[in-house]
Amino acid sequence: MDAAEAVTRAHRRRCKHFHRCKRHPNHTCRHLHRCRHRHHQAPTPTKAPPAPPVEPPVDPPVAPPVDPTAEPGSASLLTAASLHLANRFTYGFTPGLHEQMTAAGSPESWFEAQLNPAAIADAKASAFQSWWPSIDLDAAAIWQRDQSKAERSWEAMQNYARWCLLRRIYSQRQVLEVMTEFWENHLHVPLDDSGVFTYRADYGKLLRRHALGRFDEMLVAAITHPAMGISLDNARSTRKSPNENLGRELLELHTVGRGNHTEDDVKNSARILTGYRVDMWTATWNAYYNPTSHRTGAVNVLGFSHANADPDGRAVTEAYLTYLAHHPKTAERIARKLAVRFVSDTPSEALVAHLAQVFLANNTEIKPVLRALVASGEFKAAAGAKVRTPTDDVVATHRALGTELAKVVNDDSAANVILWQTASIGQTPFAWGRPDGQPDDNRSWSSASRLLASFEVHYSMAGRWWRKEDVTYRTPEAWMPAPSLRFDELVNHLSTQLLGKRVPARLLRACMEATGLAADTTITSSHAVIRWQFAILLTTLLDSPDHMHR
Amino acid sequence: MTVQDPCCPEYRGTSRRGFLRGSMVVGGAAALTVAHGTAFTQTSYAADGVADQVLVVLSMRGACDGMSLVVPHADPVYYAARPSIAVPSDQLLVKDGMFGLHPALAPLLHLWNAGKMAAVHATGLPSPNRSHFSAMEAVEDADPGSEARVGWLNRLVGRDGVGSPLEAIQIGGGVPTAAMSGPQPVLVTQGIDTVRLSGPGGPAEVAARRRSLQTAWGSSTGDLGTGLRSALDVVDQFAPVHAMSSTPANNAVYAKDDLAKALRASARTIRANVGAEIITVDHGSWDHHTGIGTTESGLVKRRTDELAAAIAAFFADLGPLADKVTLVTISEFGRRVAENANQGLDHGYGNVMFVMGAGVKGGSYYGKWPGLTNTTDADLLVTTDYRSVLSEVIVSRFGASPAQVFPGMAPARVGVMSGS
């Protein structure tokens, strides 16, 4: 019997005997007889500490040990610059994305091709439309489904959010998806606003059509759309007392921005917008222009002057919105928002001014601004500077893990549960309750609880536990590039697959600490790390700053 | 799993030595925990991070109708303007010459009668704001004219310049509310059970996971790096809360609604004594454009039942600890004087605030009644800036400076708190 076991229980409680752990040279303490280290054996030079219990006999590696920093398939690695472009203008790196960039000839030509989404086949993402019927129904039909309880209003909006998330994961038109979300946040119509559900999916599809077009045309379409009218009360605005809600937010949020207009501007703005009505809470939810609701009479807003004599105010509205879209303050506001989304939280004034100038010089066309942004030195120097929002995180994690979501069957289907995954981290698409759209700065999404919640989602997906229904995850065996390899080779392979780069030394060390394995441990499919530690290995990479930033 | 457990306090301590808080502004008791290991954190933080007083801010989201909760029965306009939804005078509780409480507040009567609950009427913003979102932002920012986006509770928790994220806890919601937003770290959580580190739960695995995260994030600066270090601290510091029984004390019984859950989690956190000075919870929606109903049924009765039951259970649960807990309710604005065509009330202005618990001079109604007018658009006017009420609370309970928490505002005396 070990001498340590021979002592009395009372002695074990009080023991002050000094000892040094045989395995952990840094460990010394004065509690020999109660310290758990007393059981440790000195490590043998060749064996990895601490040995997992089910580790199989160590087989010699099939191939000679390879320097983990020299990835054998390094031709399949992106450069830092192309990985940065992918992280900002897609919802996350995938090996397939790299193939696309290679096929396009260069990252720049891939980006250029992405700016013409109609030419990119996208059958998989197009099919999602049929998973949730209300995405393609008109307002009367959506209302009917709500009334008959086939799909309640909030369910329709949840389904719309799911549809957006799935498109972000699987669409081949990634730049279009990224820009659609950008504009849908800029011209934000909260999904939960009363009555909005009848027109909200249609509104999102409208913005998707304009997302790479011209801002002035998008602004006219968005502000006069029934979803916007319902959300910001323009659908109930009257000739006698124009509701100021939309007129104000149009100036404050959608165009020139706070501090650049007066209360008189707001009143004039509201008058111009009167006439766009919706028969809310009726069977038809008919949206129409009603000249008798339009407040005629001369208007003047920020230098836009119009007699506004015609009861049909649609022409003056279009002229007014087009004028605002071309306003230098609008250009600056859009330029800054783009820079904050795609460059950093603190873009330089020079970059903002440059993008604004490109915006105005190109008649508010969006593509030239994006090209200028991507070409800027500031963009290139900003790799990893942005935090992934909760929705970005969940989408990127699905992409990294290569999950295959199947058509929804019921509430437990993974493609339905994905919404609760994002909700558990604190955000679902377009649910932000205020008309200003969700914040896009790092600090808002960096709270302690956000991180803990992200880690929980990563771990449950890495372990293939939540959800299990109607989804296919890659098995641990499928992640192995060879039947037998060193642990550092396995980690490096996972890093190239999940993060698009060779594993940084820091992350390799983190994986060794998380699993208790040494770099040279031989891994086969019967090894503990494949059999029961794989979730902690994957989550170590997903919980890293490398995955949580973009 | 039997990976050997490298745990004894000294070893844990050494294994965490590389874990520094970087640029995060912390100090005092919280920083002390860094020097010790996980095992010590619980005791040392609990010993040093004690909150001598706790402020619970309950936000009644959606703009509640203060005149249904604290009814101005002696103002004849009240009954004239609300033919179908007024609360009958003979059903009111603890009436004085002007006011009485909605009968659904009965579960709180013992607090009122014990002098631990008061109401301040006709409170609100200095000028009307009928947009839920901008009014909430104005109320919670409480710093008009500033673009700083720092909320009053963040300024309150930051008054001594240092802080642990556990000093201010928001239970519910994803991002900090406007009141909590700002440079001071705060904890925003959906509930107690979500404040944990994912992964296998054995002590050795947890230690390995923490070490691994510290390695992975070691050189990461920026907001998320700060968040990571804060998260690992929070998990440590929150351990006493997990250790605290989830069963309410003193046979308190909570319902299952969200407010009850949030207050139940709040009481558990307070019992665990982890240094939480400020806890915020939300209750809603009180946005009753239609269907306000009567004292028998309807939206106001339903919400008020929830509110009263949850608060009563909360104070019962706290028992003697209630002597250090003050609860204040706030809503972004009040509702109109006159009912609309749908038995509802549209967006108005002045409102009531309840103050309960420690330091309250309760059993009375406070505030100057402005008198009501009966027109379609008439509001209850505001005679007491809501910040005057909050100022008395923070002076009385925290000895805080109103000038620091509510910049540019000269609080008027309300008299609702002891010492005021």
Domains of chain B, by residue range, sit at 53-195+238-405
Q: How many residues does chain A have?
A: 550
Torsion (CA) B7, B12, B18, B20 in degrees, nearest 10: 130
Among residues A477, A518, A401, A456, the alpha carbon closest in space to that of A43 is found at A518
Among residues A448, A393, A447, the alpha carbon closest in space to that of A169 is found at A393
Token pair of A508 as six digits: 């390799």
Specify which residues A214 forms β-bridges with. A365
pTM: 0.78
CB contact under 8 A, A536 and B216: no
Question: DSSP character for B105?
Answer: G
Residue A315 burial (CB count, 10 A) = 11
CB contact under 8 A, B175 and A460: no
Confidence of residue A44 (pLDDT cuts 50, 70, 90): very low
Q: Are B168 and B278 in contact (CB under 8 A)?
A: yes
Residue A310 has a pLDDT of 98
Measured in Å, how far apart are chain A's first and last C-alpha atoms?
57
Angle at B204 between CA B200 and CA B205, to 5 degrees: 25
Helix (H, G, I), strand (E, B) or coil at A266: helix
Regarding whether A350 and A321 lie in a shared domain, the answer is: no
* B243 touches A: beta carbon within 8 Å: no
Residue A549 burial (CB count, 10 A) = 19
Ranked by mean pLDDT, which of A236-250, A450-464, B42-56, B141-155 comes out on top? A450-464
CB contact burial A209-223 (16+ within 10 A = b; e otherwise): ebbbebbbbbbbbbb
CA–CA dist A272, A265 (Å, integer): 11
Regions of chain B with pLDDT less than 70? 1-49, 161-163, 174
pLDDT of A307-329, one tens digit each? 999 999 999 999 999 999 999 99
Mean local confidence (pLDDT), A177-204:
96
Residue B193 has a pLDDT of 83
ipTM above 0.85, yes or no: no
* Angle between helix A107-114 and helix A174-186 axes, rounded to 10 deg: 60
- Asked if the structure places residue A107 within a domain, the reply is no
CB contact under 8 A, A506 and B233: no
- Asked if the structure places residue A173 within a domain, the reply is no
| Of residues B3, B198, B208, nearest to A539 (C-beta) | B198
Residue B347 has a pLDDT of 82
- Residue from A452, A459, A536 to probe the interface with B (highest B Cβ count within 10 Å): A452
CA–CA dist A515, A504 (Å, integer): 17
CA–CA dist B111, B114 (Å, integer): 5
Q: Name the closest residue on chain A to residue B130, using Cα atoms.
A: A245
Regarding whether A275 and A338 lie in a shared domain, the answer is: no
Residue A278 Cα, gap to closest chain B Cα (Å): 19
CB contact under 8 A, B223 and A387: yes
Residue A511 Cα, gap to closest chain B Cα (Å): 7
Mean local confidence (pLDDT), A463-475:
92
For residue A231, list chain B residues with Cβ-Cβ distance below 8 A.
Answer: none
Tell me which residue range forms the domain holding A263: 215-325
* B127 touches A: beta carbon within 8 Å: no
CB contact under 8 A, A427 and B165: no
Size of interface A-B (CB pairs under 8 A): 161
What is the C-alpha radius of gyration for chain A, rounded to an integer number of angstroms? 29
* B228 touches A: beta carbon within 8 Å: yes
Regarding whether A304 and A226 lie in a shared domain, the answer is: yes
For residue A507, list chain B residues with Cβ-Cβ distance below 8 A.
Answer: 216
Beta strands at B54-60 and A471-472: parallel, antiparallel or unpaired: unpaired
CB contact under 8 A, A448 and B175: no
Q: Are A347 and A386 in contact (CB under 8 A)?
A: no
**Which residues 6+ apart lie within 8 Å of B365 measured at CB?**
B70, B96, B98, B99, B118, B119, B120, B121
Regarding whether A272 and A223 lie in a shared domain, the answer is: yes
Residue A536 Cα, gap to closest chain B Cα (Å): 7
Those of residues 173-212 in B touching chain A at CB distance below 8 A are: 173-176, 185-190, 194-200, 205, 208-209, 211-212
Confidence of residue A334 (pLDDT cuts 50, 70, 90): very high
Inter-CA distances, B41 with A487, B12, B22, B33, B197, Å: 34, 11, 19, 5, 16
Indicate if the pLDDT at residue A18 is higher than 80.
no
Greater confidence, B78 or A57?
Answer: B78
Residue B39 has a pLDDT of 22
Question: DSSP character for A299?
Answer: E
Among residues A452, A388, A395, A449, the alpha carbon closest in space to that of A418 is found at A395
- Asked if the structure places residue A169 within a domain, the reply is no
Which range among A173-187, A197-211, B341-355 shows the weakest confidence by mean pLDDT?
B341-355
Name the percent of chain A lying above pLDDT 70.
86
- Residue from A392, A440, A513, A534 to probe the interface with B (highest B Cβ count within 10 Å): A513
Helices (H), ranges, A343-409: 349-361, 366-375, 377-380, 390-401
pLDDT of A265-275, one tens digit each? 999 999 999 99
Residue B288 has a pLDDT of 84
Question: DSSP character for B121?
Answer: E
Of the three residues A325, A343, A371, the one that is the final residue of a domain is: A325
The letter for the amino acid at A232 is L
| Of residues A29, A434, A442, nearest to B133 (C-beta) | A434
Indicate if the pLDDT at residue A15 is higher than 70.
no
Mean local confidence (pLDDT), A440-469:
91
Residue A133 Cα, gap to closest chain B Cα (Å): 29
User: Where does residue A79 rank: exposed (0-12), middle (13-18), buried (19+ CB within 10 A)?
Assistant: exposed
User: Where does residue B212 rank: exposed (0-12), middle (13-18), buried (19+ CB within 10 A)?
Assistant: buried
**Which residues 6+ apart lie within 8 Å of B220 measured at CB?**
A545, B228
Mean local confidence (pLDDT), A475-484:
96
Question: DSSP character for A29?
Answer: E
Residue A34 Cα, gap to closest chain B Cα (Å): 9
* B225 touches A: beta carbon within 8 Å: yes
CA–CA dist B202, B3 (Å, integer): 9
CA–CA dist A346, A385 (Å, integer): 10
pLDDT of A100-137, one tens digit each? 998 998 899 999 999 999 999 999 999 999 999 899 99
CA–CA dist A362, B391 (Å, integer): 54
Question: DSSP character for B260?
Answer: H
In CATH terms, is domain B53-195+238-405 a member of 3.30.1380?
A: no
Angle at A303 between CA A301 and CA A309, to 5 degrees: 60
Residue A112 Cα, gap to closest chain B Cα (Å): 32
Sign of CA dihedral A130, A133, A138, A139: negative
Angle at A473 between CA A469 and CA A476, to 5 degrees: 135
Mean local confidence (pLDDT), A337-353:
98
Confidence of residue A89 (pLDDT cuts 50, 70, 90): very high
Residue B259 Cα, gap to closest chain A Cα (Å): 18
Specify which residues B417 forms β-bridges with. B360
CA–CA dist B370, B381 (Å, integer): 6
The letter for the amino acid at A331 is A
Q: Name the closest residue on chain B to residue A457, using Cα atoms.
A: B198
**Which residues 6+ apart lie within 8 Å of A286 measured at CB?**
A278, A279
**Which residues 6+ apart lie within 8 Å of B239 measured at CB?**
B38, B41, B42
Among residues A325, A177, A197, the alpha carbon closest in space to that of A251 is found at A325
Token pair of A111 as six digits: 């980006």
| Of residues B10, B194, B217, nearest to A452 (C-beta) | B194
Q: How many domains does chain A have?
A: 3
Which range among A36-45, A58-67, A229-238, B146-155 shows the weakest confidence by mean pLDDT?
A58-67
Greater confidence, A65 or B55?
Answer: B55
Regarding whether A307 and A242 lie in a shared domain, the answer is: yes
Helix (H) / strand (E) element for A506: namely helix A505-515
User: Where does residue B399 rank: exposed (0-12), middle (13-18), buried (19+ CB within 10 A)?
Assistant: exposed
Token pair of A163 as six digits: 């549809």
Torsion (CA) A60, A62, A68, A71 in degrees, nearest 10: 180
Regarding whether A277 and A369 lie in a shared domain, the answer is: no
Helix (H, G, I), strand (E, B) or coil at B381: coil
Residue B238 has a pLDDT of 87
Specify which residues A254 forms β-bridges with. none
- Asked if the structure places residue A8 within a domain, the reply is yes
Question: DSSP character for A382?
Answer: T
Regarding whether A337 and A250 lie in a shared domain, the answer is: no
